Structure 1
Amino acid sequence: MKEQAQWRQEGGCSCGQIRYAITAPPMFVHCCHCHWCQRETGSAFALNAMIESSHVEVITGTPEVIMTPSESGKGQIIHRCPTCRMAVWSHYAGAGEAVAFVRVGTLDNPECAPPDIHIYTDSKQPWVIIPPGASQHPGYYKPREEWPESSQKRFMALKNREK
């Protein structure tokens, strides 16, 4: 990945009312195959780039913030376009509002954020083929065992700010 200071990717919703930029590379990118993500996205998986919320910059529009249920029971805060209702990023209870889970498909260049890990593969659709050698787990995983050290440091810096 490019140096954090030089990195910028833009994205937005399908109608164009919401435009945003992420101003640092993602800490980690999840490809989640759980049934909840399948239902929520209407697809076989959700692809979310985890990034500090401070690196999500709204360029135009004002996302609508909606609280939705989640499988954990703790809920999920989703930022959606108020017109086309597309979800552009969300916050999960485990990471809090300090971390945004940006929907990779809403980026103008989604190829900039390929999955680092495939999770909940025990419920993936049988026709989804995970590339050989890709990191995958039947459920969740231990970030300390999967995340690069630089991402762990970024995440710990967020946790330390919350204290």
Structure 2
Amino acid sequence: MSTPAYPLAGGCDCRSVRYQLESAPLFVHCCHCRWCQRESGSAFALNAMIETERLRLLAGTPEWVDTPSASGKGQLIARCPQCRIALWSHYAGAGRSISFVRVGTLDEPDHLPPDIHIFTASKQPWVLLPPGTPAVPEYYERKTYWPAESLARRAALLAAQSKA
């Protein structure tokens, strides 16, 4: 697969809410935890982590829904107020500075395969993980798996937040 040209556009089913990723994401998680399975109604959730400042809203206004999470801190999910599709979310740990974009809402989701499979200890037994993609039973140490560029972007984001 070739490297995608950015920006990448996406949106909900009814096209009321449209957005674009201005750059490559920091990292793409394929999460197999039971919370993601329940929330997505599927075997896993595929989320592209990106700085919120690099996620541009093109049309519409998402509705924010506060939902519980395994951490007990919850997550805010941006949903289309018309068709109710979940577009992205903010987890308490990263706050609103990082968006977890639902890859399946991109116009061309094939461009963002998972960088890692997480919480595989609770994956559905019939899901076969591809060889060559890291997979961990729970969460992981960021410095072990993230590319240097993504670690630098995250460090810059944290530094800017500490000055604010």
Residue number in structure 2 paired with 1:34? 33
Gaps of 5+ in 1: none
**2:66 aligned residue:** 67
* TM-score normalized with structure 2 length: 0.95
Q: TM-score, normalised by structure 1?
A: 0.96
Q: Percent identity?
A: 57
Separation (CA, whole Å) in 2 of partners of 1:40 and 1:84: 16
Partner of 2:46: 47
Q: SS of the counterpart of 1:139?
A: coil
**What is the CA RMSD across the aligned residues, in angstroms?**
1.2
CA contact (8 A) 1:29 1:115 kept: yes
Q: How does 1:6-155 map to 2 (within 5 A)?
A: 7-155=6-154
Mapped partners of 2:33, 2:77: distance in 1: 18
| Cα contact 1:2–1:25 (8 A) shared by 2 | no
CA distance in 1, matches of 2:53, 2:72: 26
- AA aligned to 2:116 is I
Give the Cα–Cα distance (whole angstroms) in 2 for the partners of residues 159 and 37 of structure 1.
Answer: 26
Structure 2: segments with no counterpart, 5+ residues: none
How many Å apart are 1:2 and its aligned residue? 4.9
Paired residues in the alignment total 161
Deviations 1:95-126 (A, max 9, x none): 11100000000000001110000000000001
